[in-house]
């Protein structure tokens, strides 16, 4: 049939049919060499409609060409799943943007700049670093170490939205200093009264190292941590649990998230460690404590901890910030 009739029967304009021919998607069954008129066969109708549907689904031309060589419903399901995942990531990023804006407006959380009216009272001494590790391709963790703040944001490996969340939060938390923000965030900030303020969401952790002993300051917001807390799972069995690594709280997932916060009085001998799960999943508390005991300066403690985690497998990005209050 001529292009006009094919156009009427397929509901696709002649212009669109010519475009599909140019793009190599749907060649006319025959072209009159004299007049250049294009002719289509009736069994091309179904193919034309499939092509048109895929174009409306924003499937790239090259992918449609490959698909037409080997059409399958399985491929369409794969595209549908990808689309759902992409939409989900964009949705999460938007939710996070909303949370960050809300945090910016709500400065009720009592964190303040240490430069009080009496001038600079105290500051934090910090050292921090994040390492991709030998097995991951990207580093989705972010660290901030300054004289007011120690922060680790774990972008949740494999979630593109998580990487955005970690970076956005690492940028906005220090700027707004409300402490309300990220995917898996753990931050310690210095208050005007010399105390430390601690905020935590997810399964990054803060520890206090005091008198040679290491104490975990934060609770992990994960399924297994909550089961252990309730006495329903033994700590050494957590790694084998089917929901190991699944978080119960994280930023950027739902419209609201409960953020743990607390304050802590610290002395000049104390050290605070803020780290991602890439550290404590590789090193035991005893190993972390001994790195703290051995390290003369904070930077060498950070190096010892990261080197240790990598030596034990380094299966995840590993991030550490070590802080102490400077007189």
User: What is the maximal distance between C-alpha atoms in the chain?
Assistant: 94
Q: Judged by CB under 5 A, does residue 183 bind Mn ion?
A: no
Q: Judged by CB under 5 A, does residue 316 bind Mn ion?
A: yes
Q: Answer for the pair 64, 19: CB distance below 8 angstroms, yes or no.
A: no
Contacts with Mn ion, 3-42, as mask; x by CB under 5 A: ----------------------------------------
Here the tokens at position 100 are 């960050």
Long-range CB contacts (within 8 A, 24+) of 203-206 = 203/154, 203/247, 203/277, 204/152, 204/153, 204/154, 204/274, 204/275, 204/276, 204/277, 204/319, 205/273, 205/274, 205/275, 205/277, 205/280, 206/272, 206/273, 206/274, 206/275
Question: Rounded distance, CA 93 to CA 113, Å?
Answer: 29
Between 154 and 163, CB nearer to Mn ion:
154
Min dist CB 273 to Mn ion, Å, is: 15
Contacts with Mn ion, 217-256, as mask; x by CB under 5 A: ----------------------------------------
DSSP, collapsed to helix, strand or coil, labels residue 181 as coil
Question: Rounded distance, CA 318 to CA 208, Å?
Answer: 19
Between 310 and 325, CB nearer to Mn ion:
310
For Mn ion (CB under 5 A), the number of binding residues is 5
Q: Judged by CB under 5 A, does residue 139 bind Mn ion?
A: no
Question: Rounded distance, CA 21 to CA 72, Å?
Answer: 22
Between 178 and 276, CB nearer to Mn ion:
276
| Residue 236 Cα to chain centre, angstroms | 27
Between 89 and 136, CB nearer to Mn ion:
136
Q: Which segment (45-53, 192-200, 241-249, 311-319) binds Mn ion by CB under 5 A?
A: 311-319
Residues in 80-109 that interact with Mn ion by CB under 5 A: none
Between 89 and 205, CB nearer to Mn ion:
205
Contacts with Mn ion, 146-165, as mask; x by CB under 5 A: --------x-----------
Question: Rounded distance, CA 315 to CA 317, Å?
Answer: 7
Between 122 and 276, CB nearer to Mn ion:
276
DSSP alpha helices (H): ranges in the chain?
3-10, 14-22, 45-56, 61-69, 73-105, 160-176, 223-229, 277-280, 285-294, 298-311
Min dist CB 222 to Mn ion, Å, is: 11
Find where tokens 């004299």 sit.
Answer: 34
Contacts with Mn ion, 41-70, as mask; x by CB under 5 A: ------------------------------
Min dist CB 124 to Mn ion, Å, is: 24
Contacts with Mn ion, 266-295, as mask; x by CB under 5 A: ----------xxx-----------------
Please report, as ranges, the residues that interact with Mn ion according to CB under 5 A: 154, 276-278, 316
């Amino acid at each position: 049939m001529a292009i006009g009739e094919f156009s009427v029967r397929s509901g696709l304009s002649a212009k669109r049919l010519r475009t599909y021919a140019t793009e190599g998607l749907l060649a006319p069954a025959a072209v009159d060499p004299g007049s250049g008129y294009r002719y289509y066969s009736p069994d091309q109708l179904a193919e034309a409609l499939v092509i048109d549907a895929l174009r409306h689904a924003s499937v790239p031309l090259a992918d449609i060409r490959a698909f037409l060589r080997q059409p399958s419903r399985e491929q369409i399901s794969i595209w549908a799943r990808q689309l759902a995942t992409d939409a989900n990531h964009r949705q999460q990023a938007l939710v996070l943007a909303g949370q960050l804006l809300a945090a910016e407006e709500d400065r009720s959380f009592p964190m303040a700049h240490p430069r009080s009216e009496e001038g600079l009272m105290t500051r934090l001494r910090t050292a921090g670093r994040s390492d991709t590790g030998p097995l991951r391709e990207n580093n989705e963790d972010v660290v901030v170490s300054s004289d007011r703040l120690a922060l680790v944001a774990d972008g949740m490996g494999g979630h593109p939205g998580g990487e955005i969340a970690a970076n956005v939060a690492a940028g906005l938390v220090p700027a707004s200093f409300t402490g309300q923000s990220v995917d898996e965030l753990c931050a310690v900030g210095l208050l005007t009264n010399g105390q430390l303020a601690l905020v935590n969401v997810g399964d990054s952790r803060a520890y206090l190292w005091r008198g040679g002993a290491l104490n975990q300051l934060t609770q992990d917001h994960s399924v297994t941590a909550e089961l252990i807390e309730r006495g329903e799972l033994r700590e050494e069995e957590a790694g084998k649990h089917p929901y190991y690594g699944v978080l119960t709280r994280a930023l950027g997932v739902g419209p609201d998230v409960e953020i743990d916060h607390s304050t802590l009085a610290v002395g000049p001998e104390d050290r605070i460690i803020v780290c991602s799960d890439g550290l404590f999943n590789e090193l035991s508390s005893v190993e972390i404590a001994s790195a703290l005991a051995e390290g003369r300066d904070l930077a060498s403690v950070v190096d010892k901890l990261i080197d240790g985690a990598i030596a034990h497998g380094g299966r995840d990005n590993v991030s550490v910030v070590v802080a102490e209050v400077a007189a």
